[in-house]
Structure 1
């Protein structure tokens, strides 16, 4: 296997994958919209590339493995908008293409369970754009497409601790509301396994084993920090931005059986309690560790 990866939109999840691959000798080129981020990307052992702004077409033809993390807009998938013809031409020679989507494509199931065979009935604009983007990628003949539908992502630097410490966290209560989550390191492990065993056309949910109400996560984070648990606020009384309110438009429990059976994936953090504990331990570790 040629150890090269082109990473479009080299963000939180892609950086976690790079932490696994770079020490094993992989060459990774990661795109970013911001030139200011290039130094940090380079320090991680990844070759930074500002895009849009640089022609990436030659790399599409050259790299056998490509990860798409860039999200769609109302104008569609930005990578396909720029390079659809190049992907179509390179598809027969490409080995693996991973597309990071969202479990938001399933819409609201009122707390019920969904798997990869559930109908795609998104309840939000973000979810609808992801359904359209998935279909657009799947419409390229011979593309070795792997779709990963991610639950709510958390991990070092992204989680409830900062808001709890700042006293701005809120426990918003909506009857029956549950979310599935996934630690970023478990996303990286899944992508690593898929790269090792490509299965073009595969669709995988990535989530932990314990869907839970959001207020439980906030409460547990406060307990771990030894600070008062934020008071409960009924959803109807919460002053939420439209973006925040949209997260409460969907309630579902997501199954991850398919990727466990197909690739032997097992989440290192099967629930938010183990994930938060690991994050807190990492925060407390000396800087030279």
Structure 2
């Protein structure tokens, strides 16, 4: 799996004739069709409206994976296709990719799936509402819905090694600030585990090692044999409002629920992942990989 498409809805349609699976994936731009095809995905255009092509895919699909961000007036997939999804004759399971941002700020304390959601940003408030809407739909139609709360995503083409190479890496320091992370391969692995087990519920899909962001950059620099960028105090850093908002939330996110579901992380911490990426050379953008292959 590559870094997940953030405006993407995936349908899984196992073929009764061949025993293989057809994977449909949506995008808002036809310019991205070829990239989806190269990743083994049959592309469909979704701009907020239910098309005949999407309707036909829903009719024969068994699994849905939704990663489209919610909007102010609700989840765009549910707005366009709630009735069509409710009527899907072969539907077995729904997965919704959310964010650990729904927990808000917990002052650096550990949180798990039972922790109160007290989102700070508007985008996280909308995520909480979308989660509830998908869970309600699952309850209404009697299908399991898995909510995967993801931490900061990284992988080939999107990591501190790349940032160091292109000169954009920074070491921002805010005392006691930590973040969790998740390698994209562990997102696909967790998805497959939940699909195979037909499991619903809420799952934190995140690593075992919440850590200060400056430590990650320093570790990557040590692997490359280059000098780490100087530390920059958070108070004086020039950041976009969105980037600054991430530092307004501080928590350590536990992942026991997905482990209890049987998943074992390929990259339980950033050091393991960076060691692998550097040794294998796959830290730069590589060939597109299917988001439904672990």
Q: Does the 8 A contact of 1:101 with 1:149 survive in 2? A: yes
Q: Does the 8 A contact of 1:221 with 1:276 survive in 2? A: yes
Deviations 1:169-208 (A, max 9, x none): 11111111011111010111111111111123x1111011
SS of residue in 2 equivalent to 1:265: coil
CA distance in 2, matches of 1:244, 1:120: 21
Higher relative contact order (CA 8 A, sep 6+): 2
Match of 1:47 among 21, 26, 42: 42
Q: 1:168: Cα distance to partner?
A: 2.3
CA distance in 1, matches of 2:192, 2:37: 21
Task: Tell me the equivalent position of 2:260.
Answer: 261
CA distance in 1, matches of 2:158, 2:147: 23
Task: Tell me the equivalent position of 2:5.
Answer: 11
Task: Tell me the equivalent position of 1:5.
Answer: none
Task: Extract unaligned runs of 5+ from structure 1.
Answer: 1-9, 19-23
Q: Does the 8 A contact of 1:181 with 1:211 survive in 2? A: yes
CA distance in 2, matches of 1:166, 1:100: 29
Deviations 1:110-160 (A, max 9, x none): 111000011111111121110011011122212421111011110011111
Task: Tell me the equivalent position of 1:25.
Answer: 20
Q: Does the 8 A contact of 1:173 with 1:233 survive in 2? A: yes
1:121 aligns with 2:118: yes
Q: Which moved more, 1:160-169 or 1:235-244?
A: 160-169
Structure having the higher helix fraction is 1
Q: 1:107: Cα distance to partner?
A: 0.6
CA distance in 2, matches of 1:70, 1:282: 31
- How many residues align structurally? 270
CA distance in 1, matches of 2:235, 2:270: 26
Q: Mapping of 1:176-255 within 5 angstroms?
A: 176-200=176-200, 202-255=201-254
CA distance in 2, matches of 1:75, 1:44: 32
CA distance in 2, matches of 1:199, 1:111: 30
SS of residue in 2 equivalent to 1:139: helix
Task: Tell me the equivalent position of 2:108.
Answer: 111
Q: Does the 8 A contact of 1:64 with 1:93 survive in 2? A: yes
Task: Tell me the equivalent position of 2:292.
Answer: none
Q: 1:283: Cα distance to partner?
A: 2.7
Q: CA RMSD in A?
A: 2.5
CA distance in 2, matches of 1:26, 1:247: 38
Q: Which moved more, 1:52-61 or 1:211-220?
A: 52-61
1:71 aligns with 2:63: no
The structure-2 alpha-carbon separation of the partners of 1:190 and 1:14, relative to structure 1 and needing over 3 Å to count, comes to: farther
CA distance in 1, matches of 2:185, 2:90: 29
